[in-house]
Amino acid sequence: MKKVISTEKIPIKLWLEDIEEAALQQARNVASLPFAFKHVAIMPDSHVGYGMPIGGVLAAKGVVVPNAVGVDIGCGMCAAKTSLTDISDKSLKTIMGKIREYVPVGFNHHKEKQNTNFMPSDENIIKGGIVECQLQSAHKQVGTLGGGNHFIEIQKGSDGHIWIMIHSGSRNLGLKVADHYNKIAKHMNKLWKSEVPASFDLAFLPIETQDAKDYMTEMNYCVEFAFSNRKLMMINVQKAFAEEFGEKFAELDFINIPHNYARWENHYNTNVIVHRKGATSAKDGEIGIIPGSQGTKSYIVKGKGNHESFQSCSHGAGRMMGRKQAQRVLDLKTEIENLNKQGIIHAVRNKKDLDEAPGAYKNIDIVMENQKDLVDILIELKPLAVVKG
């Protein structure tokens, strides 16, 4: 931990020193909430978000806050270690071409409904709810990458193995659920004359209300859908590998971890709803994934169970500048040269791609140094080739 701010209702504990003013103000807003418990934890990759900063962890007593989870419910990481220990540039380019053929990116979906076996179980589907209304679309969206900072990356691990890593979420399904319940929360908070200012954009639902129960149910479906989405993509990426390497290719390990969700947990002998918005669970011994940018290392980590962070850690490197700012400020030639020098088959082609260039992100080395009390590094993963959403 780098510092503690004690000017609000509860303390703000920060694992970074260079937080932008807008994100810090959002953290202050969170720390002033009447239901916020013990303290607010801000991870080392934190930057401004909607309502709550990305990289924020809020433990709440008796309420759930849709905007403290965000619109990409269940967004997270998965990684698989393969039996391969080497891969040529020629094979990488062939595989990346096949991945683009098998995995729709951006706004693209599968043309046909995917097998029901790739979808979550029906237990978290509410009759007439948002999820049920979106199921037909979701059947075509499962196994698709999406846009923004989502990616598929081939990496070389410090353990000598080739790894596959995927970052993606719940696609349009999570957005629809998030927007629906945030609107309900804002409306109800206005009717109740809530003491939480509307300008905070942190409207809440008391957990005993039906709306809160429905949100938790549909949110959990979105978390499972996001997991299913990553699993199907991983299957198709492995198919691309198998077509190139045949029997020489095999998956050895599979890790999955979300970083946008809320769930019941017990901290300081109290049952609370922990909201992680761009933050990863890091219980003692829990295996996690912390990605860098497409030009820097990523990490497989093991949690230390630090209670001051509510057993959490960062979900990545974190943005240093906004997307439009990156497109204005960063030099395209420099960013491409830096990636080319490292021999990375990358996704930076023109000015609009600069929003996901390495220069738009914080220094992952500093981020990892700042959370040495939260996780131990198990494996370093160097990027070899990247498909960006």
Cα–Cα distance measured from residue 68 to residue 83, given in angstroms and rounded to the nearest whole number: 39
Any idea which residue has 């300008």 for tokens?
199
Cα–Cα distance measured from residue 64 to residue 202, given in angstroms and rounded to the nearest whole number: 10
**CB 74 within 8 Å of CB 227:** yes
Closest CA to 240 of 77, 76, 87: 87
**CB 55 within 8 Å of CB 43:** yes
DSSP 36-85: B-S-EEEEEEEE--SSS-EEEEEEESSEE-GGGT-SSTT-EEEEEEES--
Residue 43 CA: distances (Å) to CA of 54, 55, 90, 122: 9, 5, 39, 34
The pair of structure tokens assigned to 290 is 């912390």
Closest CA to 365 of 314, 302, 327, 325: 314
DSSP 199-237: GG----EETTSHHHHHHHHHHHHHHHHHHHHHHHHHHHH
Q: Which of 139, 150, 167, 315 is catalytic?
A: 315
**CB 204 within 8 Å of CB 35:** yes
The pair of structure tokens assigned to 354 is 């600069």
Burial class of 47 by CB neighbour count within 10 A (0 to 12, 13 to 18, 19+): buried
**CB 123 within 8 Å of CB 131:** no
To the query of whether residue 150 is one of the catalytic residues in this protein, the response is no
Q: Which residues are catalytic?
A: 315
